[in-house]
A and B are shown apart, each in its own frame.
Chain A
Amino acid sequence: MDDKLFITLVPGNTFIDKLTGKTKVRIFLLLIIILTATWDIRVIFPIFILSIIMLVSIKPDVKKNIAVIIFVLLMNIFNLFLTWIIKPDYGLEMVGASTVLFRFSDFFIVTAETMWYFLVRLMKFMASFLVSLTFIQSITPSELAAGLHSIKIPYKICMIVSLAFRYIPDITRDFTNIKISMQTRGLELDSRKSSIFTRLKQYVLILIPLIITSFDRVGNIANAMDLRGFGKSKDKTYYCEHEDTRGDKLLVPFIIFLIILYIALVVIKAVYKAPYEVWAPWIS
């Protein structure tokens, strides 16, 4: 379980790591909003390439990343497969034509448009996954809070988010500890030795102490925060937020470009009402 989580607590020293939380959060949010808003491959493909470059540039743990990327890729492909089973001719709705490439039966057909739609969708999801994977590996919880605060989110909400991220490694640690101590008391979690139903029941036995210890800790953490004067004044500054580096200044035009791109996408969508959601080169 621990090797699947990517929370960073110590900032690294690559270009993206050195940026301020402000820049990281802004770029991340803009990229995610743009990726959510559009189905146009002319926008998605550059972001997809950019996200790969970004991920490589922060020099992540290769083995860990490859494993999770493959897992997500397979999950997405499986998802697309389910969509295909429910509606093989989905491309007709989304792209606006249906060129049959292959025919299993009258219902299960493979059309070029459906495949194109699936490609766009896969790229869209993978891009947003890679962007968030880069983001989560390059930002520390405090920087995240500082960045969110810089876009005028109330600091109490920022605190919730940063505490939540800060707490995730503790959960995995507690989970492992409780699991091991339960196993020493004879809890059988091996999938070959106990049925899925008993294992489910046993996971509940791990879950209850996990949840109760976590919520018991609330009082301690809250007292520690109160003692340091949390919530007394109207605003809060962040120790981890440093002055803009050269990289931050370099990226300001990029942030402005992303904002303009997003506005342009929204305006184009509102003014020029495309008959179909997904653009394909062979359909004008």
Chain B
Amino acid sequence: MNKKTLGQKLLGTWNTKTIVGVAIGAALFGVLMNYGGIKVTTNTSLTSAYVIPAIVGALFGPLPAGLAAGLGNVVADLLGGWGFWFDWSIGNFVAGYFAGLVGLFGADVENGVFTPKHALIYAILCVIGCAVGFGVVTPFLTYMWYSSELTITWIQAWAAIVSDATVLIVVGLPLLFALAKRNARGTNLSKED
């Protein structure tokens, strides 16, 4: 197992595999955003799409996770037809980035390393990411670009924080554990006393 530097961990390693991974993540995100959720308020829904940044982040790193979520939101806007909300895309980017940071703390889903400690760190990161992404970045950008409707944006932001963090944790965690277990090769060996 090769050690990665901090910079590489923050940016993710960029090779063909990462590009394809981000693309497939964005496609899944876009489709699930449209057809894989229940509406909570307008423009926000309890959607299964938010497991995608968790997986992309665990497999490829934080920046790919953010890109998958951000581009995925653009794809969703294009398919869904509710107009383009680039403020939300960037909020998604931030939330996805945070969800992908778990690799920084030693989790390595690709090689089957994902312990309850990582799960806890991941849960905290998700909450912080959603809070920063949808609670700070999106309302700020909404105010800057569309200069309107802050009350509604706040309601939507709160709904987004709660629903997306819930999905990231409640659906994302079992999936990450399953994925880690699936990828575990030779990690289940224990030292005999």
Instruction: Please give the residue numbers on chain A whose beta carbons come within 8 Å of chain B beta carbons, in ascending order.
Output: 1, 4-6, 32, 35-36, 68, 72, 75-76, 78-79, 82-83, 86-87, 94, 124-125, 128-129, 132-133, 135-136, 156, 159-165, 167-168, 171-172, 203-204, 207-208, 210-212, 214-215, 217-219, 221-222, 225-226, 230-231, 277
Contact B78 A163, beta carbon cutoff 8 Å: no
Name B9-36 residues within 8 Å CB distance of A: 14-17, 19-24, 26-28, 30-32, 34-36
Contact B151 A160, beta carbon cutoff 8 Å: no
Instruction: Please give the residue numbers on chain B whose beta carbons come within 8 Å of chain A beta carbons, in ascending order.
Output: 14-17, 19-24, 26-28, 30-32, 34-36, 41-43, 48, 51-52, 55, 59, 67, 71-72, 75, 77-84, 86, 145-149, 151-152, 171, 175, 178-179, 182
A208 CA / B146 CA spacing, docked (Å): 37
Contact A277 B148, beta carbon cutoff 8 Å: yes
A72 CA / B80 CA spacing, docked (Å): 8
Given contacts A75-B82, A86-B151, A86-B152, contact A225 B48 (CB under 8 A): no
Given contacts A163-B23, A215-B21, contact A204 B171 (CB under 8 A): yes
Contact A159 B55, beta carbon cutoff 8 Å: no
Instruction: Select B16's contact among A203, A208, A222, beta carbons within 8 Å.
Output: A222
A4 CA / B187 CA spacing, docked (Å): 43
> Residues of A contacting B148 with CB < 8 Å?
94, 277
> Residues of A contacting B30 with CB < 8 Å?
164, 168
A225 CA / B179 CA spacing, docked (Å): 25
11 contacts between A and B (CB under 8 A): A129-B83, A132-B81, A160-B23, A160-B67, A161-B26, A163-B27, A168-B27, A207-B32, A207-B51, A208-B175, A221-B20
> Residues of A contacting B14 with CB < 8 Å?
156
Contact B81 A133, beta carbon cutoff 8 Å: yes
Contact B145 A36, beta carbon cutoff 8 Å: yes
> Residues of A contacting B175 with CB < 8 Å?
208, 211
Instruction: Select B78's contact among A125, A136, A221, beta carbons within 8 Å.
Output: A136
A124 CA / B85 CA spacing, docked (Å): 13
Shortest Cβ gap from B113 to chain A (Å): 17
> Residues of B contacting A171 with CB < 8 Å?
27-28, 31
A221 CA / B20 CA spacing, docked (Å): 7
Contact B21 A218, beta carbon cutoff 8 Å: yes
A68 CA / B78 CA spacing, docked (Å): 13
> Residues of A contacting B83 with CB < 8 Å?
35-36, 124-125, 128-129
User: Which residue, A86, A124, A167, has most C-beta atoms of chain B within 10 A?
Assistant: A167
In the complex, the chain A residue whose C-beta lies closest to that of B51 is A211
| Interface class of chain B by DSSP | helix
4 smallest CB-CB distances across A and B, nearest first, come from: A163-B23, A129-B81, A167-B27, A222-B17
Contact B20 A225, beta carbon cutoff 8 Å: yes
A54 CA / B20 CA spacing, docked (Å): 33
Contact A83 B149, beta carbon cutoff 8 Å: yes
Shortest Cβ gap from B85 to chain A (Å): 9
> Residues of B contacting A78 with CB < 8 Å?
42
A4 CA / B36 CA spacing, docked (Å): 13
Shortest Cβ gap from B139 to chain A (Å): 16
> Residues of A contacting B151 with CB < 8 Å?
86-87
In the complex, the chain A residue whose C-beta lies closest to that of B32 is A207
A211 CA / B17 CA spacing, docked (Å): 16
> Residues of A contacting B17 with CB < 8 Å?
218-219, 222
User: Which residue, B15, B79, B152, has most C-beta atoms of chain A within 10 A?
Assistant: B79
Contact B82 A129, beta carbon cutoff 8 Å: yes
Given contacts A36-B84, A163-B19, A163-B23, contact A79 B79 (CB under 8 A): no
Contact A277 B147, beta carbon cutoff 8 Å: yes
> Residues of A contacting B59 with CB < 8 Å?
215
